[in-house]
């Protein structure tokens, strides 16, 4: 993701897979997989906006998936979360979110943004 002044604010390496628990030691992917496996994610301030932009880029490239998987610091167990719930928390909206001519429909009952977020 490139921010103001052509400064790089974030980077994500992600791939669609079917079996996320087998992915940390693998370079395999499946374009039809129902899970995003995040190999690497880096976000510089403003982190929230950078992460949102990276999320839009992933959605634009691969489309929506049901699950999201990652390892903390590239070690330990693989965490698998509901991608739809993650999207609701990240975007805090009930409206469609528009990005570059593409729209991503918000999930019903999306969480409301609070000052503490």
For the chain, the 3-state helix, strand and coil shares in percent, each to the nearest 5, are 30, 30, 45
Within-domain flag for 96: no
Within-domain flag for 18: yes
Q: Which structural domain range is residue 41 located in?
A: 4-88
Query: In the chain, how many domains are there?
Result: 1
Measured CA distances, 90 to 1, 63, 87 (Å): 17, 16, 5
pTM attached to this predicted model: 0.66
Within-domain flag for 116: no
Q: What is the pLDDT of residues 27-46, one digit of tens each?
A: 888 999 999 999 889 999 98
- Using an 8 Å Cβ cutoff, are 88 and 111 in contact? yes
Q: Taking residues 90-96, what's their average pLDDT?
A: 54
């Amino acid at each position: 993701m490139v921010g103001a002044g052509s400064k790089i604010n974030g980077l994500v390496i992600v791939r669609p897979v079917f079996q996320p628990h087998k992915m940390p030691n693998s370079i395999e992917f499946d374009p039809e997989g129902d899970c995003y496996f995040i190999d690497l994610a880096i976000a510089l301030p403003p982190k929230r906006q950078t992460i949102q932009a990276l999320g839009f880029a992933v959605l634009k490239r691969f489309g929506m998936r049901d699950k999201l998987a990652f390892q903390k610091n590239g070690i330990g167990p693989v965490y698998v979360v509901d991608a739809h719930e993650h999207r609701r928390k990240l975007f805090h909206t009930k409206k469609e979110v528009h990005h570059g001519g593409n729209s991503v429909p918000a999930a019903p009952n999306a969480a409301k943004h609070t000052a503490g977020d």
